Structure 1
Amino acid sequence: MDETVKPLRIPPQMSVYADKHNVFRLVQSLLSGLMIDQPEDPIGYLIRLLQRSSVDIPRVLLLGPPAVGKHSVARKLSAELRAVHVTAEGLLQDQSELSIQARQYTLAEQEVPAELLVRLIQQRLNEIDCFNRGWVLEGVPQTRLEALSLQQAGVIPEHVVMLDAPDDVLLERSQGKLVDPLTGDVYHRTFIWPADGAVAQRLEEGRGLSEKQQLAELQRYRREVTGLTSAYQHVLKVINADQPHTDVYQQVLAFVRTRHRSRTPRILLFGPPGAGKSNQARLLSEKYKMADVCCGQLLRSVAADGSALGVEIQSYLDDGRPVPDSLVLQVLEERLSRVDCSCRGWILHGFPFDLQQAKGLQKSQHQPNRVFFLELTDDVCLERITLRATDPVGGQRFHAVSRPAPSAEVQNRLKTRSEDSARSVTRRLSQYRLHTAALQSVYPDAVLIDADRDPHSVFEALESRLTAD
């Protein structure tokens, strides 16, 4: 009996079907709702969830310091999403028992206890309009304790937007506040002025905090912002509000919509030598738990496993010959069918290299849903590669400009790989440029990313496009 354990494979058609019909998102939404709300009638509850117009019901928190523009953005966003706009002030206005209790604290100029506030929010968000249409919750929570209490109560936002601006800008905005008495919309003499002249004529002075009170509120917010950020770090986007209101709103809307749809990532990453493909693939793999599939490393791994296929591949590697496309595709077919790739996704780099390989991959069952080209000039590529060397003692890699050796002793023993010579890099660059246009024609929807930046900025650019529709 063969005791060899073979890696579990999942037909790639399954993940393609799941992406097309948003199955993972549907199951996640149903299961999380069931576990959080714990209804008495779980079957009936699931049926009601499925009968909603969409499983992608918006659940948005909009946070930020006083005078940053939360109210204006939240009103506009809730109208755009057809979601319920929920504010702390609005929660206190109904005649429920919880609201009456909360008002007693505000009338006494005391802070509403976190437990009571959470129960009040939970009660409002469980009402039928929020259940069916979703919600945009403005200005709450204000502390990490409130955030964690909301999470424990099952109030889990899909998106958290944190607006921010320098304190001097916020203090200036707190002066000159104007309110439309008919709609409640907030305007400002300098920052936000209504386009409609009739609206401008009926504006009234808004009641705001004194400068002393404003400073106190700002200081309180600054003390709590780190805790709030950590509580929502996986669904958070911080947006600079010190720019035109229209630009701020468009960034908020883009964030909410971009992350409105999830999919299993299947990524092709192209780029010239020195563009940072391996580093970016590693960063994406670490954050999103997708499989990092480097074609070169994969071939060497298979060659070392002693299988018949590995022995055949090793013969090509020993002779310095390219491994035939048919063998490469066979190896990739096996790797990309494993359960980690099928369930969590993958990021492939190092293949395809030319038009023929790209067409071969297209005929396979493994189709990417995101393609990125890292762009870098030849001069920068040469500088990045030819000036790097490795310490044979510690195995660390150094760079003459960006990461020089720590001492003369280390510098003297550094070794440069033959493939990092200027001649070798120039040849590889020439080959890459020769095939780039053809590859881009195969993937016309590919996103071009400027790689002549620090790795963190490149990573952010890649990340921002991962779930864009």
Structure 2
Amino acid sequence: MDETVKPLRIPPHMSCYADEHHVSHLLQTMLSSLLVDQPEDPIGHLIRLLQRTSLDVPRVLVLGPPAVGKHTVATKLSAELRAVHVTTKVLLNQSERSTQEHPADQLVKRIQQRLNEIDCFNRGWVLEAFPHTRLQALSLQQAGVIPEHVVLLEAPDDVLSERNHGKLVDPLTGDAYHETFVWPLDDSVAHRLEGRSLPEPQQKAELQRHRREVTGLSSAYQHVLKVVNADQPHADVYQQVLAFVRTRHYSRTPRILLLGPPGSGKSHQARLLSQKYKMVDVSCARLLRSVAAGGSALGEVIQSYLDNGRPVPDSLLLQLLEERLSRVDCSSRGWILHGFPRDLQQARSLQENHPPNRVFFLESTEEVCLERLTLRATDPVSGEAFHAVTQPAPSSEVQNRLQTRPEDDTHSVTHTLKQYRTHTAGLQCVFPHAVRIDADQDPHTVFESLESKLTAD
């Protein structure tokens, strides 16, 4: 390590404060609102933004083919969220509705004007059944209509056809019902229902348009999109939509800690997460070797411990981790730490100085850990790692020159596993809200489990 170069460091308490109070999300929301809305009075706009009951008001699109249940879901959703329900039918005059033809740019302008009104600004909005195409979606985005959640309801064509034939509408409220799927509880409402099925040629034409455009439309909203299967009871559909819309994705710098016995796959999962999410992969063992090889005074001290097979003192470990985790790459991109802590005291020190905001225990049985570690070996020529069961050597020539590490023999692995089990209770005590992942599964499945928990609020 070049001691003449001092990497930029950010005190850990700043990152913790920003996470706790969602500072990054607050700044991002305010800046985004300014750039999108471009108000003539930026300061006044920000003041109104901060005076809202909630900084996060709903901005939801409900899309899908004809007869899939968009109106019913949007109506119920807007009532539950106390948001403004906006439909294109309300924005169009009678002649425009009857002709079914209206320029998309004109409709985009009317939507923009409606969503900028004070009720939508303060309470949020649920926009139903628009856009229909990717180009329309891009036009909305250019006009500053940027949803936080997009729900795409889908169902098979035969189901949509059946629902269309039995569609009924309350002429007083505009609420949609169906003879089979959604029937009003109030008899007075049931008596005044009117049939509103689309003519079959029109429904087929609209359905064909939807199938033709849905891929491009979905790509325009891929980062905020959830596709919901509407071919199930309405209550189940609505609960899935509501759960999705209630999620809030705050900008938070990830500080991930992977714990688990040797052989549970911590290094492999850390590498996968780092590659996909661009976080810094901080391996305690690799950090020690790197510093030892750097030739600094501290490195020489650490090298002496590594040469003699003695554990590096906690004071030196913490000094290295403090320096590494405080660098600007870890502070800006986030980090994934593994190989530390190993006991209660180390865990308390980490929690005090660099508390992680996601902790995972990769749980694996002793039999699986033994198989993974004792059957692995390395090719000294290529440096490639192999495993007798999961990734055998490609030829007898490579097989004959494979080398195993002394610490991977059965006795050493068994001893290390026993040490880990001894300290597991202490680690769990410091991180009681850690998520447990079954690491006996194949690595791809483990990674999917980590991802799903990592992105959950």
Q: Distance in 1 between matches of 2:168 and 2:450?
A: 40
The 1:331/1:146 distance shift into structure 2, 3 A limit, reads same
Aligned position for 2:57: 57
The 1:45/1:356 distance shift into structure 2, 3 A limit, reads same
TM-superposed deviation, 1:246: 2.9
Residue 144 (structure 1) aligned with residue 134 (structure 2)? yes
The 1:67/1:108 distance shift into structure 2, 3 A limit, reads closer
The 1:8/1:434 distance shift into structure 2, 3 A limit, reads same
SS at match of 1:238: strand
Aligned position for 1:415: 402
1:280–1:455 Cα contact (<8 Å) kept? yes
C-alpha offsets along residues 113-145 of structure 1, whole Å, 9 cap, x if unaligned? Answer: 332232222122111111111112222222111
Residue correspondence of structure 1 range 74-85 to structure 2 within 5 A: 74-85=74-85
Q: Distance in 2 between matches of 1:350 and 1:81?
A: 45
The 1:86/1:61 distance shift into structure 2, 3 A limit, reads same
- 2:350 is aligned, of 361, 370, 391, to 361
The 1:49/1:409 distance shift into structure 2, 3 A limit, reads same
C-alpha offsets along residues 53-98 of structure 1, whole Å, 9 cap, x if unaligned? Answer: 22212222223333333322222222222221222223225xxxxx
C-alpha offsets along residues 339-367 of structure 1, whole Å, 9 cap, x if unaligned? Answer: 23223332222211222221222232x11
SS at match of 1:66: coil
Residue correspondence of structure 1 range 270-419 to structure 2 within 5 A: 270-364=259-353, 366-385=354-373, 390=378, 394-398=382-386, 407-408=394-395, 412=399, 415=402, 417-418=404-405, 419=407
Aligned position for 1:96: none
Q: Distance in 2 between matches of 1:140 and 1:350?
A: 50
The 1:379/1:128 distance shift into structure 2, 3 A limit, reads same
Aligned position for 2:419: 431
What residue identity is the alignment partner of 2:306?
Answer: L
Aligned position for 2:146: 156
2:380–2:403 Cα contact (<8 Å) kept? no
Aligned position for 2:229: 240
Q: Distance in 2 between matches of 1:404 and 1:144?
A: 48
Q: Distance in 1 between matches of 2:397 and 2:67?
A: 55
What residue identity is the alignment partner of 2:338?
Answer: H
Residue 108 (structure 1) aligned with residue 99 (structure 2)? yes
The 1:297/1:193 distance shift into structure 2, 3 A limit, reads farther
Q: Distance in 1 between matches of 2:157 and 2:411?
A: 54
SS at match of 1:218: helix
1:265–1:369 Cα contact (<8 Å) kept? yes
What residue identity is the alignment partner of 1:63?
Answer: L
The 1:186/1:47 distance shift into structure 2, 3 A limit, reads same
Q: Distance in 2 between matches of 1:333 and 1:43?
A: 40
What residue identity is the alignment partner of 1:248?
Answer: V
The alignment's TM-score, normalised by the length of structure 1, stands at: 0.84
Q: Distance in 2 between matches of 1:120 and 1:80?
A: 25
Residue 118 (structure 1) aligned with residue 108 (structure 2)? yes
The 1:354/1:151 distance shift into structure 2, 3 A limit, reads same
Q: Distance in 1 between matches of 2:142 and 2:259?
A: 43
What residue identity is the alignment partner of 2:216?
Answer: G
Q: Distance in 1 between matches of 2:160 and 2:141?
A: 29
1:193–1:200 Cα contact (<8 Å) kept? no
SS at match of 2:246: helix
What residue identity is the alignment partner of 1:443?
Answer: F
What is the RMSD computed on CA atoms of the aligned residues? 3.2
C-alpha offsets along residues 245-279 of structure 1, whole Å, 9 cap, x if unaligned? Answer: 33333333333333254433222222334443334
TM-superposed deviation, 1:453: 4.6
TM-superposed deviation, 1:27: 0.9
2:379–2:403 Cα contact (<8 Å) kept? no
SS at match of 1:60: strand
Q: Distance in 1 between matches of 2:385 and 2:357?
A: 34
TM-superposed deviation, 1:335: 1.6
C-alpha offsets along residues 13-72 of structure 1, whole Å, 9 cap, x if unaligned? Answer: 112222222211111111111112222222222222222222212222223333333322
Aligned position for 2:67: 67
Q: Distance in 1 between matches of 2:319 and 2:52?
A: 44
What residue identity is the alignment partner of 1:417?
Answer: T
Q: Distance in 1 between matches of 2:8 and 2:349?
A: 24
Residue 6 (structure 1) aligned with residue 18 (structure 2)? no
Q: Distance in 1 between matches of 2:154 and 2:421?
A: 42
- 1:463 is aligned, of 445, 451, 455, to 451
The 1:426/1:215 distance shift into structure 2, 3 A limit, reads farther
What residue identity is the alignment partner of 2:364?
Answer: L
TM-superposed deviation, 1:8: 0.7
Aligned position for 1:186: 176
C-alpha offsets along residues 133-167 of structure 1, whole Å, 9 cap, x if unaligned? Answer: 11122222221112222222222222223333444
Aligned position for 2:428: 440
State the aligned residue count. Answer: 455
Q: Distance in 1 between matches of 2:414 and 2:401?
A: 22
The 1:303/1:448 distance shift into structure 2, 3 A limit, reads same
1:56–1:260 Cα contact (<8 Å) kept? no
What residue identity is the alignment partner of 1:108?
Answer: T
Aligned position for 2:198: 209
Structure 2 residue ranges without an equivalent (≥5): none
The alignment's TM-score, normalised by the length of structure 2, stands at: 0.86
